[in-house]
């Protein structure tokens, strides 16, 4: 089974900050990685798929990069609506989520 | 617009069964895979099961294999998750989600609002 490890678990940041979240896979997953945003009491929403493709309607301040086993989600300028929990998910071999990264207000 | 609506959650005793339903609308249901993903209270997301667009493939997480069964009824645009031998650790919000397709394994592009299952005596 492929394990996904996100870091950090919690991130404190201010509006306007550049934020980076890392996701590591226990084995190569090629580019089959997605990022989701989840707000309290709501369903997850996909932001990025296939490592770097932006889902329709998602602001361009979100971007993804990486390949193989190491991936990053970057928010170029954090907005008030971006305070949420973010999950990576591999879909190279079955499906596995990372444990999540909570982005909170500093 | 794409919509997925889950139902069937509730409180159930350990060892008992429950069937969840996910009704889809706004897209050609018979051409998409449907996933179930769950989230225990205060915890992260856990993928549970998927059914292929034609029902030809069904996959399950190890934690539910042999106890949960996924099925679909294309005449009703509905996917079911039959959950047997429920345990306390199955307590979670259960989401159904549409598989985006485009690769053998896929990500989830639309999600329902979730239904809460509580396993407790």
CA-based nearest distance A5→chain B, Å: 12
Q: Give the closest of A32, A44, A99 to B103, CB-based.
A: A32
Give DSSP secondary structure letters for A21-83. Answer: EEEEESS--TT-EEEEEE-TTS--EEEEETTTEEPTT--TTEEEEEETTEEEEEESS--GGG-
**Res B101: pLDDT:** 87
**Res B104: pLDDT:** 85
Q: Give the closest of A34, A38, A98 to B107, CB-based.
A: A34
* A81 Cβ under 8 Å from any chain B Cβ: no
Instruction: Look over chain A and give the mean of its residue pLDDT values, rounded to a whole number.
Output: 97
Q: Give the closest of A45, A95, A97 to B105, CB-based.
A: A95
Q: What are the average pLDDT values for consecutive 10-residue runs of chain B, which has 121 residues?
A: 98 98 97 97 98 95 98 97 98 97 90 98 95
Q: CB contacts < 8 Å between A and B, how many?
A: 58
**Res A76: pLDDT:** 98
Structure tokens at B59: 């996959």
Averaged pLDDT for residues A18-41: 97
**Res A79: pLDDT:** 97
* A17 Cβ under 8 Å from any chain B Cβ: no
Give phi and psi for B30, each to the nearest 5. Answer: -70, -5
Give the torsion sign (CA, B71, B115, A21, A50): positive
d(CA A41, CA B105): 27
CA-based nearest distance A94→chain B, Å: 6
Q: How does pLDDT run across A69-89, given as a tens digit for each residue? A: 999 999 999 999 999 999 999
**Res B102: pLDDT:** 80
**Res B103: pLDDT:** 82
Contact B50 A45 (CB under 8 A): no
**Res B32: pLDDT:** 96
């Amino acid at each position: 089974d492929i394990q996904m490890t996100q870091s950090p678990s919690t991130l404190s940041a201010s509006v306007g900050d550049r934020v980076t979240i890392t996701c590591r896979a226990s084995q190569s997953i090629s580019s089959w990685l997605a990022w989701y945003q989840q707000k309290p009491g709501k369903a997850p929403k996909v932001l990025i798929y296939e490592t770097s493709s932006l889902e329709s309607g998602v602001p361009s301040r979100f971007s993804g990069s990486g390949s193989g086993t190491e991936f990053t989600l970057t928010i170029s300028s954090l907005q008030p609506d971006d305070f949420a929990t973010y999950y990576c998910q591999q879909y190279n071999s079955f499906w596995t989520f990372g444990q999540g990264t909570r982005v909170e207000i500093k | 617009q794409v919509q997925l609506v889950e139902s069937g959650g509730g409180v159930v005793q350990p060892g008992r069964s429950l069937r969840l339903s996910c009704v889809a609308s706004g897209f050609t249901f018979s051409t998409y895979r449907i996933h179930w993903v769950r989230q225990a209270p205060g915890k992260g997301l856990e993928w549970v099961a998927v059914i292929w667009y034609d029902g030809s493939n069904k996959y399950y997480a190890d934690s539910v294999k042999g106890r949960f069964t996924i099925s679909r009824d294309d005449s009703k645009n509905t996917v079911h998750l039959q959950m047997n031998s429920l345990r306390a650790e199955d307590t979670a919000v259960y989401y159904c989600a549409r598989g985006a397709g485009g690769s053998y394994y896929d990500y989830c592009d639309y999600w329902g609002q979730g239904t809460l299952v509580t396993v407790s005596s």
